[in-house]
Amino acid sequence: MSLKKDAGRLRRKKRVRLKISGTPERPRLSVYRSLKHIHAQLVDDLNGKTLLSVSTLAKELKGVHSNKEGAKKVGELLGEKALGQGIKKIVFDRSGYQYHGRIQILADTLREKGLHF
């Protein structure tokens, strides 16, 4: 990603983060995508703690890369872990990325698993 594009994404991310935050009852789903991997984590901003974290680097997803299939598998694993901890509602933070491609597939997979946002 070019420096100009990345700077714009970071400005959008900062602007959105002023408006949304996660709570223990409704944590924030923060998404980061790179060329090789995709990361998603549920964050409780009130206590400053990460409740769950899943990426294509996880042991369960060995050999999966940051493509649409990888985003789907990350969403499935995160959905299962979140429901296992009793988390059903989340706030979606797409970190300034456009809502399409891998980001959209991750969100749709989480909705299919039963999470609401």
Give every strand in the sheet of 91-93, ordered side by side.
Answer: 49-55, 38-44, 28-33, 91-93
Structural domain span for residue 55: 3-113
Per-residue confidence band for 4, with pLDDT thresholds at 50, 70 and 90: confident
Amino acid at 49: K
State pLDDT tens for residues 28-59: 999 999 999 999 999 999 999 999 999 999 99
- pTM across the whole model: 0.90
Q: How many domains does the chain have?
A: 1
Q: What residues pair up with 31 in beta bridges, in sequence order?
A: 40
Residue 49 is part of a domain; what is its CATH number?
Answer: 3.30.420.100
| Tens-digit pLDDT profile for residues 73-96 | 999 999 999 999 999 999 999 999
pLDDT of residue 115: 96
**Using one digit for the tens of pLDDT, what is the confidence trace for 53-74?**
999 999 999 988 889 999 999 9
